[in-house]
């Protein structure tokens, strides 16, 4: 930052130190490498000064001061190592240890424990305490205690040093109030509020920040000593936030995942999906060898046989009907190297543009859709959210979809006073933070956004905004009143939001998958685009449709889509010496073509469209018509069942590679273990097929890297062109027979179709549930856990109900992460909003 | 001589009713304040009076009010600290039970002085009756339009809420009180920020003791100079002392600051019980160091008691005669402080527990050689090492007892029995 920051100069241990005003003495000391021991201090939490280990002596102050909570002042003379300080520290350690069990031999924290380390560095080797140590009742029986405070967290209060970091982070950072301090004085204990458990999406962080072994998780407990493990740098492979991770492994097993703090992205917090999702790599039932369908059975085969068969079949089809009769679907959780190889294989060897990574989206556009793709490729910085004074969250249950972006929004609101508005078809957790949680009639989002544009254009026209008049003209004769009516929102609230946006200095508009997965995405994107124009957002903020998965952005930037921007096409053409002229098909059109027998083969890597494509009937019919289906995955899925060749795929902990997060930042992750069984990484599978089919795709690793870099150098589309888009005002019809809007979404603790294999994540949720609001439950007399039947035009489904306090309107949410649920049987790809009726099933 | 100002109508059972209170000249000061004074003038008058905080710390009230930032756009809050829990102290309870409108009026004036439109009275959880009487007084004040909207037609609004705590000593500490009032666990906060800048809900807040606020209407009615004419040079006005222990007439006595301790004990309290001699005096509540009978002539004001080696504190004078075992006294006290430690700061949390274990075993006759030195050292490691003064409060009487009556402790350890041979049982 070029701004002049006021500084303060003080003296620490005889050294002059200059720090920005507002820095604590502790941080000032740290900045010049002077270490002061701490327990309760955490860089991202407000200091509380509870543990008292960070004493320093400051001239002119008679008492020892806690450096974590003392602001550095000009001319201060600080001593961190005086005799008085040392005595003070020793005293604190003596106090902490009098009732501490010192059960280090059986404590999982041993070897990375702040109490061990600080006692080693500053403590005494004997205790003057000659009483029996206090024992908390629940842990009195044995050392191998088992008092759970959440699905994954075990508490041992005897070890707790009451730094309160878990309780503080839970409230301050995660906004959770399920954990608290009970009793008082030296028998204070950390426990859950009555009837609560620590089960938020962020719960694992509480274990990670515990300085001792008081909170441990069942993932890591009693499995290995930390000093026997090696640390591997990794990046999360689930959502697109791109949190940095450390994998802790020994030989061929990963034992845990912790955060690897990156202040630009995650600030040291990760969600439980990232923390426990690695477990799926080493669960029973992994596919370890290729399978080839013989008759009705898939039987084990060698890689040579499998690859040989694929190459032969592909050549047959290509020779007979052309490469365009082969399509490819690849998971956006595959690394950049695999994605690029996939695209290169299809485009240079099969001469087909039939590739896509979006298997969970409805009706994708046939042509490049300008406003939508502009918003998906707009530049967006997670860290910039906190510099915004006004934030608009549209079409996403943010905490579920992008847990770490949600934390940044929380920070902006709670620590920086930003105003948050949410705009969703149902209530979400983010709404709790908002000035106004606007819940519109499902399916009417663009009407609301256009209404906002009308309100803003009227004001901006008066203020000399050149585009405002044009926009106003285009929106006529619609009015804010009309828009408000369509969406079921009062006009006053719409106008309040318009005014908040108009008067904002810096804005972040965050758009999620309820928009990107909708067939109306282009109309909504056009309305958001108009909003950015009338707000002149180029100069005062950011707006983006956030990409969904770890490497969705990579897939976009590297061109794993049927239709590409001209620039990208041009670059690929020159790089590869050619580019297929034929029109490509997106996911839904590939399936459509299969149904019509215009597509003969599909190569599917890591994706499970049979269960995830939002039209179950359609995708099943399509895939049944295919001549030849190749599916690579970690486990058997609904899609591998339909395959002629099944290939065992490696998980991301078994390979190195790169992911591009939703900001467009490419991050490298390292392999922690060897591929499980005979599995192979996606990129190797593609390379193997290509080599057998025609020849290798890349000469060496350098060539991949170079090509990736060249593609990434192609500018994504300019941020916001100064032009007004077409306007649509859709009204949503309510169908009497199917009254409730249905949203098929990710379960809070799951992502994609594989995380149900993670033992820890299954402990949070192991089966699909029908989430409904308390009011709807009351209306239909449904109790928590009772079975309900959902019926849509296309299918039926019986599942247990879950009454969610978060919801307060009549919508239905089902998770799509569990095998055997087939929630997509209720969906239709062309329908903007799926609708169902809900019937209580009376158990016999 | 008693000087009854706050206690003027303390014996009138009807004083709790607003009509009687008004008939006795009540709410005149409130009316005068709203109709004729600017907030700054109120603060000036209180500054002039020299009124100091009666909760224990003795911080000048007017100065505290002045710390509230004038330009803050945030709402401000006034809080009356009625969490009176210091062992020996029972003055605020009497004020609330016998003259609750005096407290309400004082709160109202103070709220006006700092520009607050919402005042809280945080009453100790066990104070069921005082809380009920305060609530009734507030309700009466609303009914008479002394509170609410547009008071006295001046356009000034003030709301008042009586809130009962959960019954924790720590919540008498102002930052713990703020946490408790916010619905959090009652644990002290680090300062800065000070409550005057960031207090309740991170807004400017002033927390004053009941007795301090009850003195304010009298200062407004009679002028700061009148109040300052009483007392000593630095300790002005009157103060209520809660006299308890081995005296003939224990009770609450309001006297001018600077009145000799001996006058309070001998004249007002009727002196020690017949046939007994005073052994030790706690002058300012259980957390203050002991005074010896030789110091009985010390004047009761902040400076003189400090000069005598103790503190005026909340004005709870506890008298003990020669039959009192000091080990037993200290055991009772450390049990209290261990129980009331909030658990936040390590030295207080762990130290009070350890001290209780050590002192209990000495009291039981199981003390070991070296225990007294260990206690000395633990006390040193707690004193001045915690956020709030609870740690200091726990330690100061112990240090004082070990200094003045060390032989009694040593006797317990060496002979496994009590030196005092107490025949007087408190049970």
DSSP string covering B192-239: SSPTTTS-GGGS-EEEEEHHHHHHHHHHHHH-HHHHHTSB-SSSBSEE
Closest-approach residue (CA) in chain A for B348 = A185
Chain B residues touching residue A88 (CB < 8 angstroms): 381, 385
pLDDT for B39 equals 96
* Helix, strand or coil, per DSSP, at residue A549: strand
Query: Are B385 and A52 an interchain contact pair (Cβ–Cβ within 8 Å)?
Result: yes
Interface of A with B in 17-56 (CB under 8 A): 47-53, 55
Contact A71 B386 (CB under 8 A): no
Burial class (CB in 10 A: 0-12, 13-18, 19+), A18: middle
Average pLDDT over residues A539-562: 94
Per CB-CB distance under 8 Å, the chain B contacts of A131 are 354, 357
Q: What is the mean pLDDT of residues A615-626?
A: 95
B-contacting residues in A 107-136 (Cβ below 8 Å): 128-131, 134
Please give the C-alpha separations between residue A632 and each of A288, A355, A587, in angstroms, as whole numbers: 11, 15, 17
Indicate the class that CATH gives domain B326-426. Answer: mainly alpha
Distance between alpha carbon A488 and the CA centroid of its chain, in Å?
Answer: 31
Tell me the CATH class for B13-228.
alpha beta
Instruction: Tell me how crowded residue A436 is: count the other CB atoms within 10 A of its CB.
Output: 16
Checking if the pLDDT of A768 tops 70, the result is yes
Here the tokens at position A842 are 């009376």
Measured between beta carbons, which residues in chain A are less than 8 angstroms from residue B344? 48, 50, 162, 164
pLDDT on residue A723: 67
The pLDDT of A168-180, averaged and rounded, is 95
Distance CA A75, CA A8 (A): 8
Interface mutation target, options B343, B348, B376, B386, chain A, most CBs of A under 10 Å: B343
Ramachandran quadrant class, B190 (left: phi over 0; alpha: psi -120 to 50; beta: rest): beta
- CA separation for the pair A321, B160 (Å, rounded): 85
**How do residues A385-423 score in pLDDT, each as one tens digit?**
999 999 999 999 999 999 999 999 999 999 999 999 999
Contact between B53 and B69 under an 8 Å Cβ cutoff? The reply is no
pLDDT over 70, % of chain A? 97
How far B25 CA lies from chain A's nearest CA (Å)? 45
**What is the average pLDDT score of chain A?**
93
Asked if B194 is an interface residue toward chain A (Cβ–Cβ < 8 A), one would say no
Q: What DSSP state is assigned to residue A132?
A: P
Beta strands A628-633 and A601-605 are parallel
Question: Using CA atoms, how far apart are residues A361 and A516, in angstroms rounded to an integer?
Answer: 7
Mutate to test the interface with B, among A41, A57, A69, A184 (most CBs of B within 10 A): A184
Considering the domain delimited by A129-282, tell me its CATH architecture. 2-Layer Sandwich (3.30)
Alpha helices, H only, A519-655? 521-534, 552-558, 566-576, 587-595, 609-612, 616-625
Closest-CA residue of B relative to A188 is B343
Residue A134 predicted with pLDDT over 60: yes
Say which range, A461-470, A683-692, A824-833, has the weakest mean pLDDT. Answer: A461-470
Q: Looking at the partner chain, which of A55, A183, A185 has a beta carbon nearest the beta carbon of B338?
A: A185
Q: Which residue blocks in A288-443 are alpha helix, DSSP H?
A: 303-321, 336-344, 370-377, 398-401, 403-416
As a CATH number, domain A740-840 is 2.40.40.20
Domain A7-96 belongs to what topology?
Answer: Ubiquitin-like (UB roll) (3.10.20)
Interface of B with A in 161-190 (CB under 8 A): 168, 185, 187, 189-190
Rounded to an integer, what distance in angstroms lies between the CA atom of residue A788 and that of residue B319?
73
A181: which chain B residues are within 8 Å (Cβ-Cβ)?
185, 187, 343
Identity of the residue in A47, A49, A95 whose CB atom sits nearest the CB atom of B350: A95
Distances (CA, A) of A283 to A4, A298, B147: 55, 21, 68
CB-closest option in B343, B345, B385 to A88: B385
| Nearby residues of B55 by Cβ (< 8 Å), 6 or more positions away | B81, B172, B208, B209, B211, B212, B314
Contacts of B386 in chain A (CB under 8 A): 52
Tell me what pLDDT residue A34 has: 97
Q: What is the CA radius of gyration of chain A?
A: 29
User: What is the distance in angstroms between the Cα of A32 and the nearest Cα belonging to chain B?
Assistant: 25
Mean pLDDT lowest among A57-61, A104-108, A450-454, A731-735: A731-735
Which of A69, A91, A92 minimises the CB distance to B190?
Answer: A69
pLDDT for A124 equals 82
- Residue A529 CB contacts under 8 Å (≥ 6 apart), including other chains: A371, A374, A375, A720, A725
Topology at the third CATH level for domain B241-321: Ubiquitin-like (UB roll) (3.10.20)
Distance CA A212, CA A706 (A): 46
Confidence of residue A475 (pLDDT cuts 50, 70, 90): confident
Contact B384 A134 (CB under 8 A): no
Model confidence at A126, pLDDT cuts 50, 70, 90, reads: confident
Q: Do the chains contact at B353 and A134, CB–CB below 8 Å? A: yes
Say if the Cβ atoms of B374 and A50 lie within 8 Å: no
Cβ–Cβ contact B266 with A under 8 A: no
User: For chain B, what is the radius of gyration of the CA atoms?
Assistant: 22
The DSSP secondary-structure symbol of A363 reads S
> Touching check for B387 and chain A: CB below 8 Å?
yes
| Full pLDDT tens readout for chain B, 427 residues | 899 999 999 999 999 999 999 999 999 999 999 999 999 999 999 999 999 999 988 999 999 999 999 889 999 999 999 999 999 999 999 999 999 999 999 999 999 999 999 999 999 999 999 999 999 999 999 999 999 999 999 999 999 999 999 989 999 999 999 999 999 999 999 999 999 999 999 999 999 999 999 999 999 999 999 999 999 999 999 999 999 999 999 999 999 999 999 999 999 999 999 999 999 999 999 999 999 999 999 999 999 999 999 999 999 999 999 999 999 999 999 999 999 999 999 999 999 999 999 999 999 999 999 999 999 999 999 999 999 999 999 999 999 999 999 999 999 999 998 888 655 444 3
ipTM surpassing 0.90: yes
| From B185, B190, B350, residue closest to A186, measured CB to CB | B350
Chain A residue with the nearest C-alpha to that of B189: A48
> Which residue of A lies nearest to B337 if distances are taken between CA atoms?
A185
Which residue of A lies nearest to B339 if distances are taken between CA atoms? A185
Q: How many CB pairs under 8 A join A and B?
A: 94
Nearest CA in chain A to B382: A91
pLDDT over 60 at A39, yes or no: yes
CA angle A339, A340, A343 (to 5 degrees): 90
Check CB contact of A765 with chain B, cutoff 8 Å. Answer: no
C-alpha of A172 from chain center: 20
> How far is it, in rounded angstroms, from Cα A271 to Cα A232?
19
Q: Smallest CA–CA separation between A167 and chain B, in Å?
A: 11
Query: Which of A95, A134, A161 lies at the smallest CB-CB distance from B347?
Result: A95
| pLDDT at residue B425, as a whole number | 45
CA distances from A240 to A243, A268, A404, A553 (A): 8, 16, 10, 8
Contact present, A575 and A707 (Cβ < 8 Å): yes
pLDDT score for A141: 52
User: CA-to-CA distance for A635 and A639, rounded, in angstroms?
Assistant: 10
CA distance B151 to B145: 6
**Which among A63, A64, A185 has the least Cβ separation from residue B353?**
A185
Alpha carbon of residue A666 to chain centroid: 16
Domain boundaries of chain B, sorted by first residue = 13-228, 241-321, 326-426
What's the CA gap between A233 and A326, in Å, rounded? 37
Res A125 pLDDT > 90: no
**Which residue spans of chain A are classified as CATH 2.40.40.20?**
740-840
Mean pLDDT value across residues A683-703? 95
| Cβ separation A185–B342 shorter than 8 A | yes
Helix residue ranges, H only, A264-402: 272-276, 303-321, 336-344, 370-377, 398-401
Round to whole Å and give the CA distance between A802 and A800. Answer: 7
Query: A355-356 and A147-148 as β-strands: parallel, antiparallel, unpaired?
Result: unpaired
Cβ distance A186 to B347 less than 8 Å, yes or no, reads: no
Contact B346 A95 (CB under 8 A): yes
Task: Identify the bridge partners of residue A148 per DSSP, sorted by sequence position.
Answer: A154
CATH for A381-545? Answer: 3.40.228.10
Give the model's pLDDT for residue A138.
66
**How far is CA A648 from its chain centroid?**
25
Kindly state the average pLDDT of the residues A553-559.
95
Confidence of residue A137 (pLDDT cuts 50, 70, 90): confident
Would you tell me how many other CB atoms lie within 10 Å of the CB of residue A197? 15
pLDDT, one tens digit per residue, over A365-384 is 777 678 888 888 888 999 99
Q: What is the pLDDT of residues A499-541, one digit of tens each?
A: 999 999 999 999 999 999 999 998 899 999 999 988 988 889 9
Kindly identify which residue of chain B lies nearest to residue A91, measuring between CA atoms. Answer: B381
Angle at A769 between CA A765 and CA A771, to 5 degrees: 110
In this predicted model, which residue has the larger pLDDT, A497 or A1? A497
A291-364+552-697 is classed CATH 3.40.50.740:
yes
Q: Using CB atoms and an 8 Å cut-off, which of residues 355-384 of chain B contact chain A?
A: 357, 368, 374, 381, 384
B352 touches chain A (CB under 8 A): yes
Give one DSSP letter per residue of A823-843, joined into a string.
GGGG--TT-SSEEEEEEEPPP
The residue of chain A with its CA nearest to that of B351 is: A95
Q: How far apart are CA A649 and CA A682, in angstroms?
A: 6
Which of B353, B381, B386 comes nearest A186 by C-beta?
B353
Burial class (CB in 10 A: 0-12, 13-18, 19+), A75: exposed
Q: What pLDDT is stored for residue A448 in this prediction?
A: 94
């Amino acid at each position: 930052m070029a701004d002049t920051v006021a500084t303060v100069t003080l003296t620490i241990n005889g050294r002059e130190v200059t720090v920005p005003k507002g820095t604590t003495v502790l941080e000032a000391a740290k900045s010049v490498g002077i270490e002061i021991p701490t327990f309760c201090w955490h860089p991202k939490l407000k200091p509380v000064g509870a543990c008292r280990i960070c004493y320093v002596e400051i001239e002119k102050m008679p008492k020892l001061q806690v450096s974590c909570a003392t602001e550095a002042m000009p001319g201060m003379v600080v001593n961190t190592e005086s005799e008085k300080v040392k005595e003070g520290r020793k005293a604190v350690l003596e106090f902490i240890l009098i009732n501490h069990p010192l059960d280090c031999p059986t404590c999982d924290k041993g070897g990375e424990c702040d109490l061990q380390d600080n006692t080693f560095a500053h403590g005494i080797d004997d205790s003057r305490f000659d009483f029996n140590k206090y024992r908390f009742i629940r842990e009195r029986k044995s050392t191998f205690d088992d008092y759970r405070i959440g699905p994954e967290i075990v508490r041992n209060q005897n070890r707790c040093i009451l730094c309160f970091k878990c309780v503080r982070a839970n409230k301050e950072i995660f906004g959770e109030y399920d954990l608290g301090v009970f009793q008082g004085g030296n028998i204070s204990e950390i426990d859950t509020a009555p009837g609560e458990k620590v089960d938020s999406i962020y719960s694992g962080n509480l274990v990670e920040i515990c300085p001792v072994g008081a909170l441990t998780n069942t993932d890591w407990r009693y499995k290995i000593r930390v000093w026997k493990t090696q640390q591997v740098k990794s990046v999360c492979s689930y959502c697109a936030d791109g949190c940095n991770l450390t994998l802790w492994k020994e030989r061929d097993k990963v034992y845990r995942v912790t955060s690897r703090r990156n202040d630009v992205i995650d600030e040291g917090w990760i969600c439980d999906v990232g923390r426990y999702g690695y477990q799926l790599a080493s669960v029973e039932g992994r596919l370890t060898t290729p399978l080839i369908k013989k008759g009705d059975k898939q039987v084990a085969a060698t890689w040579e046989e499998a690859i040989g068969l694929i190459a032969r079949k592909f050549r047959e089809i290509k020779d007979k009907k052309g490469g365009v009769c082969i399509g490819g679907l690849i998971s956006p959780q595959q690394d950049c190297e695999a994605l690029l190889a996939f695209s290169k294989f299809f485009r240079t060897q099969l001469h087909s543009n039939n590739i896509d990574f979006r298997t969970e989206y409805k009706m994708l556009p046939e042509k490049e859709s300008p406003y939508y793709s502009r918003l998906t490729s707009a530049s967006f910085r997670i860290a910039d959210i906190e510099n915004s004074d006004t934030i608009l969250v549209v079409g996403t249950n943010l905490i579920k979809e992008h847990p770490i972006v949600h934390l940044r929004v929380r920070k902006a609101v709670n620590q920086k006073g930003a105003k948050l508005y949410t705009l969703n078809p149902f209530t979400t957790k983010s709404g709790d933070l908002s000035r106004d949680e606007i819940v519109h009639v499902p399916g009417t989002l663009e009407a609301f956004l256009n209404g906002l544009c009308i309100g803003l254009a009227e004001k901006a026209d008066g203020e000399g905004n050149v585009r405002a008049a044009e926009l106003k003209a285009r929106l006529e004769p619609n009015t804010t009143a009309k828009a408000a009516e369509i969406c079921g929102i009062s006009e006053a609230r719409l106008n309040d939001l318009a005014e908040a946006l108009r008067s904002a200095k810096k804005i972040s508009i965050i758009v999620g998958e309820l928009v990107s997965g909708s067939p109306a995405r282009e109309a909504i994107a056009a309305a958001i685009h108009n909003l950015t124009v009338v707000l002149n957002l180029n100069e005062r903020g950011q707006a983006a449709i956030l990409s969904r998965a770890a490497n969705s952005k990579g897939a976009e930037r590297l061109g794993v889509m049927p239709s590409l921007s001209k620039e990208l096409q041009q670059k690929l053409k020159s790089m590869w010496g050619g580019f297929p002229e034929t029109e490509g098909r997106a996911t839904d059109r590939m399936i459509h073509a299969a149904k019509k027998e215009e597509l003969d083969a599909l190569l599917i890597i890591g994706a499970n469209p049979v269960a995830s494509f939002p039209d179950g009937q359609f995708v099943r019919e399509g895939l049944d018509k295919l001549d030849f289906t190749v599916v690579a995955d970690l486990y058997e899925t609904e899609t591998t069942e339909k395959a002629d060749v099944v290939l065992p795929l490696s998980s991301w902990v078994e390979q190195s590679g790169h992911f591009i997060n939703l900001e467009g930042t490419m991050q490298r992750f390292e392999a922690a273990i060897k591929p499980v069984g005979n599995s192979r990484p996606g990129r190797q599978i593609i390379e193997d097929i290509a080599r057998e089919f025609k020849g290798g795709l890349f000469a060496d690793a350098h060539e991949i890297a170079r090509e990736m870099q060249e593609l990434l150098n192609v500018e994504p589309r300019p941020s916001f062109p100064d032009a007004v888009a077409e306007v649509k005002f859709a009204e949503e019809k309510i169908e009497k027979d199917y009254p409730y809007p249905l949203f098929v979404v990710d379960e809070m603790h799951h992502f994609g179709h594989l995380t149900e294999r993670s033992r820890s994540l299954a402990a949070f949720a192991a089966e699909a549930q029908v989430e409904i609001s308390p009011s709807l439950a009351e209306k239909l007399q449904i109790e928590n856990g009772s079975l309900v039947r959902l019926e849509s035009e296309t299918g039926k489904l019986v599942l247990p109900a879950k009454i969610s306090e978060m919801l307060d309107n009549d919508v239905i949410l089902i998770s799509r992460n569990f095998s055997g649920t087939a929630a997509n049987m209720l969906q239709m790809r062309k329908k903007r909003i799926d609708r169902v009726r809900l019937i209580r099933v009376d158990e016999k | 001589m008693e000087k009854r100002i706050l206690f003027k109508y303390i014996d009138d059972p009807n004083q709790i009713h607003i009509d009687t209170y008004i008939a006795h000249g009540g709410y005149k000061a409130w009316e005068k304040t709203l109709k004729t004074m600017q907030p700054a003038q109120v603060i000036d008058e209180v500054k002039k009076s020299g009124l100091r905080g009666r909760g224990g710390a003795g911080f000048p009230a007017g100065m505290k009010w002045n710390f509230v930032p004038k330009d803050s756009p945030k709402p401000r809050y006034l809080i009356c600290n009625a969490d009176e829990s210091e062992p020996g102290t029972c003055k605020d309870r009497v004020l609330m039970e016998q003259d609750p409108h005096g407290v309400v009026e004082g709160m109202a004036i103070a709220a006006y002085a700092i520009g607050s439109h919402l005042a809280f009275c945080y009453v100790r959880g066990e104070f069921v009756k005082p809380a009920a009487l305060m609530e009734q007084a507030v309700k009466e004040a609303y009914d008479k339009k002394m509170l609410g909207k547009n008071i006295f037609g001046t356009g000034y609004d003030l709301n008042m809420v009586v809130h009962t705590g959960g019954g924790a000593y720590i919540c008498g500490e102002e930052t713990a009180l703020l946490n408790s009032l916010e619905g959090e666990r009652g644990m002290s906060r680090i300062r800065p920020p000070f409550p005057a800048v960031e207090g309740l809900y991170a807004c400017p807040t002033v927390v004053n003791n009941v007795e301090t606020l009850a003195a304010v209407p009298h200062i407004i009615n009679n002028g700061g100079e009148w109040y300052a004419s009483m007392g000593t040079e630095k300790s002005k006005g009157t103060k209520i002392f809660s006299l308890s222990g081995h005296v003939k007439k224990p009770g609450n006595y309001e006297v001018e600051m600077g009145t000799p301790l001996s006058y309070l004990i001998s004249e007002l309290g009727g002196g020690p019980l017949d046939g007994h001699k005073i052994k030790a005096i706690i002058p300012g509540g259980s957390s203050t160091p002991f005074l010896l009978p030789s110091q009985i002539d010390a004047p009761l004001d902040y400076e003189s008691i400090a000069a005598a080696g103790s503190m005026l504190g909340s004005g709870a004078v506890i008298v003990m005669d020669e039959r009192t075992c000091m080990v037993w006294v200290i055991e009772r006290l450390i049990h209290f402080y261990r129980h009331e430690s909030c658990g936040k700061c390590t030295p207080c949390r762990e130290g009070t527990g350890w001290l209780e274990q050590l002192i209990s075993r000495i009291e039981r006759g199981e003390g070991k050689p070296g225990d007294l030195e260990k206690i000395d050292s633990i006390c040193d490691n707690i004193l001045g090492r915690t956020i709030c003064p609870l740690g200091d409060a726990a330690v100061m009487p112990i240090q004082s007892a070990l200094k003045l009556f060390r032989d009694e402790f040593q006797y317990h350890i060496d002979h496994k029995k009590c030196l005092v041979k107490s025949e007087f049982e408190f049970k």
